[in-house]
Amino acid sequence: MKHLTLAAAIALLASPLLAGQCPADIAAIDAALAAGTELSEADLATVQELRDEGQALHDSGDHDASVQTLAEAKTLLGIE
């Protein structure tokens, strides 16, 4: 029972932390795009789609999915 309570508490605390990570990831992606990149047009389009999807997921409250989606965009851009 203690483990279940601890897991629930961690889950509740992690969600706000992830919510704060999304805007930072979006800002990092935007800055990298503004600075310019050598990605192909297709890869740039994919990054923009992932960035927009991550923003929409964040806005809807699905921060776990937002963080994962934004991480894909950051990987394509070569940033961390």
Between the alpha carbon of residue 52 and those of residues 9, 14, 29, the distances in Å are 30, 23, 11
Task: Measure the N-to-C terminal CA separation of the chain; round to a whole number of Å.
Answer: 38
The distance between the two most distant Cα atoms of the chain, rounded to a whole number of Å, is 53
Cβ–Cβ < 8 Å for 47, 29? yes
Encode pLDDT of 25-77 as tens digits.
999 999 999 999 899 999 999 999 999 999 999 999 998 999 999 999 999 99
Residue 20's pLDDT band, with cuts at 50, 70 and 90, is confident
Mean pLDDT of 9-38: 76
Interior angle at CA 16, CA 11 and CA 22, nearest 5: 115
Confidence (pLDDT) at 2: 63
Q: Report how far residue 78's alpha carbon sits from residue 80's, in angstroms, rounded to the nearest whole number.
A: 7
